[in-house]
Structures are given as structure tokens and as C-alpha cells.
Structure 1
Amino acid sequence: MTPTRRLRVAFSIYLGVLVVGVVGYQVLEGMNLLDALYMTVITVTTVGFAEVAPLDGPGKVFTVLLIVGGVASATYAAVSAAEFVVEGHLRRIIERRRMERRINAIDGHVIVCGYGRVGRHLVAELRREGMPFVVVDNDEDKIAEVAETGFLHVEGDATAEHALRDAGLERARAVVACVNTDADNVLIALTAKGLQPGCTVVGRIKADENEAKLRRAGADRVIAPSTIGGRRIAQLLTRPVVSDFLDGIGAGGIEYTLEEVPVRSGSPLDNHTLREAAIRETYGCTVLAVLHAEDGSMDTHPSAESVLHDGDVLVVMGSEQEVASMRDRFRPP
């Protein structure tokens, strides 16, 4: 039984003793409601005030039993209340320390600031992709919901430095600011970039006019759900097959998936053409695009003679097994 439930049961028993006392004095001694309540209270609390009327034999026996029941129930209620206060506090401390150790054991994770509608979907996708994350929120109910799932979390204001530090900002790969207000998202971006300039910051905005503010605060990417939603609806209406295809890849409903493969110095891809790399022949993956590190250009139709260099990123499509095989082969050290 939880301390909260035990406390409720204890006070219910104590209240039940009071009710039994009032009814008992009314039935056995013929007292009115006020006198019966008075006798019950002074008996249960053992304060020793004078009786409102002399008690006969059955009344005295009832009083003895009422004293025993009252003292026992009061003691149980007091112990339960103390347990609720002490154990609840200690439990929170222990759980917080345990959570701190778990967070300190990870790196390269994503800090999700805000567990609202966007945050929930983001967490679900990160979990599906196997990417570690920490949720930061100051709403007790939301944190309780996160805790029930076993996700790493920090209860606190995401705009505060200590909350981001507790979430392991110095080791994080990215911070996502998706709390309820644009102003708070701007402050989160500003705080995160100030503490960890090398960390990628993605911010969510509700009002389009706040995009510039969020970028000035340090956000590397700005997401406007309303804008994205409008584009997706338009695409669904004008290019339904393409829309279904992209949705299927993104949600895992289609056999094929998209993946990024970085080119590292000394790897079999470095300083080789796509023809020489023989990616399709070796892994079964199709190269859709190449992001060139030298000038930041995106080649969306790379030729077989395109030369790959350190820092380039390939966008490939293939089955889960094919992509996983290629990703593991060229995984950065």
C-alpha cells in the first residue's frame, strides 16, 4: 500500500471511530447530536473534560472501547502522516539521485524541453530511432507521466541554467525548445547556446514573426508546426502518392528508409567516386543526394563520377537491413 493510500485509510478509520462514537452515545445514552459529538471528541482525544451526563453500565463499557479504538486509530493516523511526509520526501530525493546517475551515464543525447503535444511526438520518434533523450518540464503531472514510462527526465524550468545542466547539456548533441510559449523557447535557445555553443538548438514557434527572434537567440533550426502542416496538407491534395510515400518512409510503414552516411577521412568512401564506392552493388542502397562539405551545396542528382571527400554526407535509401549494414560499415569513430 502506498503512503498516500495508507494515509487516506488511516483518517477514514479515525473518522469512522468518531461516527461510531456519536451514534453509540445517541443509542445507548439517549444523548442529542451535540452532546454525543462532545462526548465522543473528549473521549477519543482523552482530554479528560467532565461528562455531560452520568453513564450507566453499557455506556461505560462503550466508552472504554471507544477510548481504545480512538487512541489506536489516532496513533495509526499520526504514524501514517509522518510516514507520508518523511518517506515521500526521502523517496523523491532517492529518485532524483538515481535519475542524476542515469543522466550522467549518457552522452550525445537530445534534451527535449517541454512535454506537450510536440514533445510527446518527438519523444516517441526518438525512442523509435533509438536515440537517447532527456525530458525537461516543470509540470508535476507531465513529469509524473514521463516517470511512469521510465524515460530520463528533469523536473524544472527549462529556461533556467541549472535545469539544462542537470539534463547533461555539456554532453548533449541537441536541445529542442518546444514549450508552450515562443518567449520561453527563445530564452531556452539563448541559454543553451550561451552554455554550450557547439550544441545544436532546434526551436518551435507558434507565431511566424518570432522566427527571426529565435534565430538571433541562437537556434540552428526553427520549426513552425502550422507552416509545416499547411505544406503537408497542400502536398496531400496535389501529390497524394508522393505524400503517402514520404509518410510511409517517415513512419516506418514502408520497407525502405532514408539515412545519412557521413564521409570520414581514410574511409573507403573518401576521395573515391560513387562508381568506385559501388554502394548500390555492395549494400543495395541508392544514393539520392550528396551534401558537399566544401561549399555546403546539395547535389540532388549526383553522377557516378562525383568524387566524395571528408565531411561530405550521403543521403541514401534502402531497406532497414541494407541501411543498417552501410551505416555500421561507415559509422564515425
Structure 2
Amino acid sequence: MARQTQRKMSDYFTLRRRSSLPIWADIAWRVAFVLGLIGMAVAVHYFDRNGLQDSYDGDVSFLDVVYFTMISITTTGYGDIAPVTERARMFDALVVTPIRIFVVLIFVGTAYNFVFKRTWDNWRMKLIQSNLHNHIVIAGFGTSGSEAVQELLARGTNPEEIVVIDTSDDALALAEKLGCAVINGDATRDNALMNVKISRARSMIVSAGRDDTSILIVLTARHLAYHLPISVSIKAADNELLARQAGATTVINPVSFAGLLLAGSCEGAKISDYLSDLASATGRVKLVQRAVTEDEVGMAMNDVVGAGLGVRIYRGDTVIGFWETEAKKLEAGDIIVEIIPGNGSEHPAAEDA
């Protein structure tokens, strides 16, 4: 019930598309278009000025035409100059009236784009930023980034807790459809990461598509958030060390992982199938890690994993296998990696029944 009443960040955020024109050029073409419409109306009125009647002096000069056109377009209409012929009246009805509508829409649209919309978007951005706590930042929403987001959602992560940074409007549109907050920006820049409150994030996934860009993003994020766990996708094996030196907590090489699956399939098709099962949230089994609790200190790993299967212990920089003697006595600060039933499996009790 509480989740239903919780506000979504996407309710306060809309995708903004940057115009290729600078602001001054955008305003200039609008003004030029308005002046062009008014100029056309003035020209037709002047050439057909015999169809107008001036109740003041009876003479319709060029200035009178300009005056009449402007008050007609602005719908003021004082009545001192009026169309008297059918042709002049039809021109006012069929041409000047649409021009009047266009001019009003252009001015209203300009005011909206450059005043109201910017103020509104800035307010909504500040509202989103105030709600960004313990979130996950995704830098790059290409193939790997989008797969990571979908896997997070499959694992039960609330889409409101995911913020996607990318420079592609198409990619951001897809991320927004998933319910994520999105921002069009360069993740290698400090401002972009500060806008998503990187210092308050719980983790970050970097998948920029290029190793050099991904490493630069890691460097930028690390100096802004020294405590942040950062996972990065690196394609070239010789760049993995650079990524770790840049501050990446976890380095994933999709090419190497694919090679592991292919090599495993040579020993038997079920091995690669099981590895894929472990990596997916929708599989029958999945890998999880957790810290040892105070009550578990001194106990054996196999006695604390419950229905799961403990496979490894991380004790500082030491890696301990489940068969080793150290696994029989847990210590404070240990991290346990275990295999537990996944979303694709039935409950063990149901299978026994």
C-alpha cells in the first residue's frame, strides 16, 4: 500500500530535447516569421487600400494601412478604419484572422519555451534531485546498459531508484519508458554527475561503449564520490587494469565472459547453461553476496547459508573456498557468496511435496 502512494520520479521529469539552434537564433527566426506575416498583410492591404475607409479624414495612407493591419492582427479594432468592399472583408476574414492566430501562438509558444518551460523544468529537476538518495546511476544506455537496467528491474529494483545518463535522445526515451529518471548529458563531466547527485548514489554502472570513455567516466565519478561502488564494462583485456586504477570496484569484460561460456560448453552444454542461469535474475538459481552478521561470527559457512549453498568467502583481500579450513569459522567483516533459489525455480517444499 505504501508503495502505491509513493510518488514516482518520472512523474516530475520529462525528457528534454536540445535544439540545434542557439537561443538567439531560435528567437530571431520566430520574430522574422511574425514580421513576415505582418509584412504580407500590410502589402495586401496597401495594394487594396481602396477597399478601406478612414472615418477620420477619408484618406488611407501607408501609415494608415500599417496602423489598421497592426490593430487588426492584435484584435484591438478601434473601428476608425474598416474594410468596406467584399474583397477587403474576405481578405481580413480568411487571411488576417489566421495570421492573428499564428502570431498569438508564436508569442505564447516563445514565452512558454524560454520563460515558463525553463522555470518549470528547473523546478522539477530540483525536485528530482531532492529525492535522489541511495539510487543507482547508469552511465550509458546502449546494449549492455539497457540489459543491466532490465536485469535490475527483474531483480526487483524499483525503477524510481535508477537514473540513466546518456547523450542519445532515443536511448533516453527507452529508459524513460521503463520508469527510470533520465538526463541528457556527458557523464565524463563533473556537472552531469553532480546533477544526478552521484555522491548520494549507492552504486554506479558504466557502459559507454568505448573503453577510453568508460575509464574517463570512472575517473570523474571516483573523484566526486570516493566511496561509491563502480562497475564498468571493458572490452579490451589490457584496459582492465587501467579501469581498476581509475577507481572501478568491479571490471566486467563481456568478451571474456562470453569466452568462458563458450569454453564451458565444450565440457558440456549444461555447464554454460548453468552459468547463464546463475547470472540471470529469472533463472532457477542465482548468486548473491552478503556480509556476515554478528550472530554468525565463529560459525561455519555451511551452517549459516540456510537453503542456499555457500561457495566462497571474501576476507579482506583473501579469497576462501568452501572446502578450505578457514570456511569453518566465519569472522567479522567476511563477505559470503552463496547460491540461492532464483525466481525461475519452485519452492523446495513444493518439490518435496
Q: How does 1:36-115 map to 2 (within 5 A)?
A: 44-45=41-42, 48-51=45-48, 60-89=85-114, 90-91=116-117, 93-115=119-141
Residue of structure 1 in register with 2:207 after alignment:
178
CA RMSD across the alignment: 3.4
Give the C-alpha shift of residue 151 in structure 1. 0.9
How far apart are the structure 1 equivalents of 2:200 and 2:289? 22
Contact 1:42 1:48 in 2 (8 A): no
Residue 149 of structure 2 corresponds to residue 123 of structure 1? yes
Q: How does 1:265-304 map to 2 (within 5 A)?
A: 266=294, 268-274=295-301, 277=303, 279-280=305-306, 284-293=307-316, 295-301=317-323
Task: Count residues with an aligned counterpart.
Answer: 274
- Residues in 1 aligned to 2:284 and 2:236: alpha-carbon distance in whole angstroms: 37
SS of the aligned residue for 1:297 comes to strand
Task: Indicate if the aligned counterparts of 1:113 and 1:119 stay in contact, CA closer than 8 A.
Answer: yes
Q: What's the counterpart of residue 81 of structure 2?
A: none
Q: Which residue identity lines up with residue 224 of structure 1 in the other structure?
A: N
Equivalent AA in structure 1 for residue 336 of structure 2: L
Query: 1: CA distance between counterparts of 2:250 and 2:265?
Result: 24
Q: Deviation string for 1:25-82 (max 9, x for gaps)? A: xxxxxxxxxxxxxxx998745653324999xxxxx52442232222221122222223
| Shift in CA distance, 302/141, structure 1 to aligned 2, threshold 3 Å | same
CA distance in 1, matches of 2:263, 2:251: 21
CA distance in 2 between counterparts of 1:231 and 1:320 reads 22
Q: CA deviation at 1:163?
A: 0.9
Relative distance call for 1:79 and 1:188 in structure 2 (3 A) is same
Identity %: 22
Task: Give the TM-score normalised by structure 2.
Answer: 0.66
Whether the 8 Å CA contact 1:46–1:67 is kept in 2: the answer is no
| SS, match of residue 159 in structure 1 | coil
**Higher relative contact order (CA closer than 8 Å, sequence separation 6+):** 2
Aligned AA for 1:135? V
Aligned mates of 1:238, 1:103 — CA distance in 2: 50
CA distance in 2, matches of 1:180, 1:292: 33
8 A contact 1:42–1:49 mirrored in 2 = no
Number of the residue aligned with 1:19: none
Q: Which runs of 5+ in 2 are unaligned?
A: 1-36, 52-84, 346-353
Q: Quick one: structure 1 residues 157 and 173, their matched pair in 2 at CA, closer, same or farther if it must change by over 3 Å? A: same
Please state whether the residue corresponding to 2:251 is helix, strand or coil. Answer: strand
Measure the CA separation in 2 of the matches of 1:174 and 1:101.
21
Give the equivalent residue in structure 2 for 1:160: 189
